[in-house]
Amino acid sequence: MATLNDIGVAAAINILSAFAFFLAFAILRIQPVNDRVYFPKWYLKGLRSSPLANGAFVSKFVNLDFRSYVRFLNWMPAALQMPEPELIDHAGLDSAVYLRIYMLGLKIFVPIAFLAFTIMVPVNWTNNTLERSSLTYSDIDKLSISNIPTGSRRFWTHLVMAYVFTFWTCYVLKREYEIVAAMRLHFLASEQRRPDQFTVLVRNVPPDPDESVSELVEHFFLVNHPDHYLSHQVVYNANNFSKLVDEKKQIQNWLDFYQNKYERNPSRRPSLKTGFLGLWGNSVDAIDFYTSKIERLSRDISAEREKVTNNPKSIMPAAFVSFKTRWGAAVCAQTQQSRNPTIWLTEWAPEPRDVYWENLAIPFVFLTIRRLIVAVAFFFLTFFFMIPIAFVQSLANIEGIEKALPFLKPIIEMKGIKSFIQGFLPGIALKIFLLFLPTILMIMSKFEGYISLSALERRSASRYYFFQFINVFLGSIIAGTAFQQLNNFIHQSTNQIPKTIGVSIPMKATFFITYIMVDGWAGVAGEILRLKPLIIYHLKNFFLVKTEKDREEAMDPGTIGFNTGEPQIQLYFLLGLVYAVVTPILLPFIIVFFGLAYVIYRHQIINVYNQEYESGAAFWPDVHARIIVALIVSQLLLMGLLSTKEAAQSTPLLITLPVLTIWFHRFCKGRYEPAFVRYPLQEAMMKDTLERAREPNLNLKGFLQSAYTHPVFKSADDSESDITMEEWEQEPALIPTKRTSRRCTPLPSKHSGS
């Protein structure tokens, strides 16, 4: 059992490392040479230009103004200053609503923590069950429910508090859902004309021997939506084509690299070996080699382009169909077209930059099979990943290490090291395992055939959450104490689970506190340093960059990363709700996490991240549902815990809690969820009418013409398409902030330009 002292050491370590990160960040970010790493968003908006262009040579790279080092935390208030409406303008609704999740954490847990510390902690503290028992215990346990004697009447406090916490959480959740739904509707209503408002994606166009896909689509919609159909664009299978284009880009990078090398050292032409990894084989002139390779690829690319556009086999049975009005598109997206429900499938087209083009080529029949395969694979991934984690954790407790490696005993028993291992190691082991995961989950989602990046990220997020729930939360609670329990647990009954877990929960509080500090404090503080993009940018800058445009492409602003970030937040919601009644001492740690993460991510969203798509906060129903799940889990575990404490009269009262919570969820689902999945006809009609009045001569067909062309075609003939892109990507005039505002080419997002 970790003592308060151990936790103190761990807290000190983590606070120190967080401060170290902040200090490093403070120093690095004011160096002009890092400007594109720490403020890429402003470059992409065209509101900031390279500081390398002017000033003395040294001050181009290093900040010599020592006063700026003193105010090393001044980014924090700056991050909080931008008001929300401006933030939505600046970074999109997705980002603004994403920040609200952290806010939601504060709104839920600050009052809960206040209540818990004024009411529950005194009730727990004024017992002496643990003192009289023969168990080893720490001061933390004295504050927790473990300190209440079995069968005590004091459990009524916990029961009442469980109700209060549930009602408070539900109240905050409902209010937040209401606000976010209103924000979404307002955002959609105030938005400028966008191609996806008029466009529907049609999949599974049935094959026809007499007509091409394009003709078939045109005829079908002319017949069935005669008053509304405008035009359509068929989908090409350009996966091969874009692979070639990507390859060319990579080779071009190598060519640039060698050309730079040659320019710096003109005395010696660079050469390379053609064999495996450049380790052996014939030595050739590198520049000539890559130049000829690029020529060959360019030929291949134009041949492939020819093939894709002319061969009817490369046309997929799918099309983007555009309508004359938003009303027509809303109708088509929400209705069934054909009597056979598996053909002529219509759904809202995602934003053009949100489309995941590779998956449009998957025929519908394979989708069900793919989903089955992924479901089975995910099951195995989830339940067999558990074994290594449990193994590492069982090693990572002191007794385990001492047993496994007895010669280490004298070192481990040193006080500082012992605390370090106990405070740090279990969290780290878990974190390393989890680093590999999001990529695997994203691949799974892609294999399942979702057709927009936003859907892919949402799907991966829910998988990741489930994984974390099973492996981090349950895995740590059960397998962490004793590895051999795992096997028993599988053969144990399902009903017993709440009891087993409920009993272990108070004992694992210290573990989770250290986990929160490592993952939530130091980890989040590390996020602001952007170590990986920093290194990559400087490498690229040194080896590849020749023009200002190259330098712009070397920037990697990154995105929020909904698929990893949101499940992480959800884990904290889960921990907070579960421990709120059991061990309230955990709550301050979680509040610090939410506060810190809010500030840091707000800063990053303002200055760094560049969202690849704008889904209009379509993820909120998922966020809401997962907090509800956490709430229900916390109620079930409390029930399990109390039933072992012989507070059995509480069970019926506790059972009503999940029933009410589920009912609340269904109520919210009916009330708010449609705002996130459907598009009301009234709204569509209103916008159509307004538009017709304002711009009676609008050439909609021209506007929609090339909106849904595969980006690989666009990047090939850059000049024309960039204009169309710009036309609809233009944001409303920005309020200039403190930062220097000089216009530079705004970049399209990473993916649409790939």
Position among 243, 532, 678, 742 found at the interface with a copy of itself (CB under 8 A): 678
Q: Which is nearer to a copy of itself, 375 or 535 (CB)?
A: 375
Provide the edge-to-edge strand list for the sheet that holds 199-203. 229-236, 315-323, 199-203, 345-348
Does residue number 493 form part of the binding site for a copy of itself (CB under 8 A)?
A: yes
Other C-beta atoms closer than 10 Å to the C-beta of 350 total: 22
Stretch that binds a copy of itself, among 137-145, 249-257, 331-339, 540-548 (CB under 8 A): 331-339
C-alpha to C-alpha distance for 662 and 653, rounded to whole angstroms: 15
| Cα–Cα distance list, 154 to 132, 149, 442, 581, 647 (Å) | 18, 9, 48, 13, 10
Q: Which is nearer to a copy of itself, 303 or 655 (CB)?
A: 655
Write down the least CB distance from residue 343 to a copy of itself, Å: 10
Write down the least CB distance from residue 641 to a copy of itself, Å: 17
Does residue number 335 form part of the binding site for a copy of itself (CB under 8 A)?
A: yes
Site string for a copy of itself, 374-403 (x = CB under 8 A): -xx---------------------------
Does residue number 5 form part of the binding site for a copy of itself (CB under 8 A)?
A: no
Q: Which is nearer to a copy of itself, 136 or 682 (CB)?
A: 682
Position among 31, 49, 68, 334 found at the interface with a copy of itself (CB under 8 A): 334
Position among 4, 11, 185, 428 found at the interface with a copy of itself (CB under 8 A): 185
Write down the least CB distance from residue 660 to a copy of itself, Å: 8
Does residue number 136 form part of the binding site for a copy of itself (CB under 8 A)?
A: no
Q: What are phi and psi of 231, to 5 degrees?
A: -160, 180
Q: Contact at 8 Å (CB) between 238 and 356?
A: no
Write down the least CB distance from residue 330 to a copy of itself, Å: 7
Token couple for 585: 């001492």
DSSP-based three-state secondary structure for 355: strand
Position among 41, 225, 305, 603 found at the interface with a copy of itself (CB under 8 A): 225
Write down the least CB distance from residue 329 to a copy of itself, Å: 11
Q: Contact at 8 Å (CB) between 438 and 564?
A: yes
C-alpha to C-alpha distance for 698 and 686, rounded to whole angstroms: 17
Query: Quick one: CA torsion of 736, 741, 744, 749, rounded to 10 degrees?
Result: -40
Token couple for 691: 């538009």
Q: Which is nearer to a copy of itself, 185 or 482 (CB)?
A: 185
Position among 331, 587, 590, 597 found at the interface with a copy of itself (CB under 8 A): 331
Position among 151, 206, 341, 363 found at the interface with a copy of itself (CB under 8 A): 341
Q: Are strands 345-348 and 271-273 parallel, antiparallel or unpaired?
A: unpaired
Q: Which is nearer to a copy of itself, 468 or 650 (CB)?
A: 650
Does residue number 368 form part of the binding site for a copy of itself (CB under 8 A)?
A: yes
Write down the least CB distance from residue 683 to a copy of itself, Å: 5
Does residue number 190 form part of the binding site for a copy of itself (CB under 8 A)?
A: no
Angle at 184 between CA 182 and CA 187, to 5 degrees: 105
- Residue partners of 168: CB distance under 8 A and separation at least 6: 108, 111, 112
Does residue number 488 form part of the binding site for a copy of itself (CB under 8 A)?
A: no
| Number of residues engaging a copy of itself in binding (CB under 8 A) | 44
C-alpha to C-alpha distance for 423 and 419, rounded to whole angstroms: 6
Other C-beta atoms closer than 10 Å to the C-beta of 299 total: 10
Write down the least CB distance from residue 441 to a copy of itself, Å: 20
Write down the least CB distance from residue 178 to a copy of itself, Å: 11
| Cα–Cα distance list, 328 to 17, 141, 227, 335, 611 (Å) | 56, 63, 8, 11, 29
Q: What are phi and psi of 557, to 5 degrees?
A: -65, -25
User: For residue 494, which amino acid is it?
Assistant: T
Q: Contact at 8 Å (CB) between 7 and 510?
A: yes
What crossing angle do the helices spanning 562-582 and 155-190 adopt, rounded to 10°?
A: 150
Does residue number 516 form part of the binding site for a copy of itself (CB under 8 A)?
A: no
Site string for a copy of itself, 645-674 (x = CB under 8 A): --------------x---x--xx--xxxxx
Write down the least CB distance from residue 372 to a copy of itself, Å: 5
Does residue number 336 form part of the binding site for a copy of itself (CB under 8 A)?
A: yes
Task: Map tokens 């994984």 to a residue.
Answer: 467
User: For residue 366, which amino acid is it?
Assistant: F
Q: Which is nearer to a copy of itself, 223 or 277 (CB)?
A: 223
Position among 31, 49, 224, 485 found at the interface with a copy of itself (CB under 8 A): 224
Write down the least CB distance from residue 277 to a copy of itself, Å: 43
DSSP-based three-state secondary structure for 580: helix
Does residue number 227 form part of the binding site for a copy of itself (CB under 8 A)?
A: yes
Stretch that binds a copy of itself, among 52-60, 253-261, 266-274, 680-688 (CB under 8 A): 680-688
Nearest to 44 by CA among 752, 754, 751, 749: 749
Token couple for 8: 């103190």
Write down the least CB distance from residue 182 to a copy of itself, Å: 9
Q: Contact at 8 Å (CB) between 602 and 96?
A: no
Stretch that binds a copy of itself, among 64-72, 109-117, 467-475, 494-502 (CB under 8 A): 494-502
Does residue number 679 form part of the binding site for a copy of itself (CB under 8 A)?
A: yes
Other C-beta atoms closer than 10 Å to the C-beta of 211 total: 13
Q: Which is nearer to a copy of itself, 302 or 368 (CB)?
A: 368
Write down the least CB distance from residue 668 to a copy of itself, Å: 10
Query: How far is Cα of residue 575 from the mean position of the Cα atoms in its chain?
Result: 19
Does residue number 503 form part of the binding site for a copy of itself (CB under 8 A)?
A: no
Nearest to 680 by CA among 347, 337, 330, 335: 330
Max Cα–Cα distance, the chain, nearest Å: 89
Interacting residues toward a copy of itself by CB under 8 A: 185, 220, 223-225, 227, 327, 330-331, 334-339, 341-342, 344, 368, 372, 375-376, 492-496, 659, 663, 666-667, 670-675, 678-683, 685
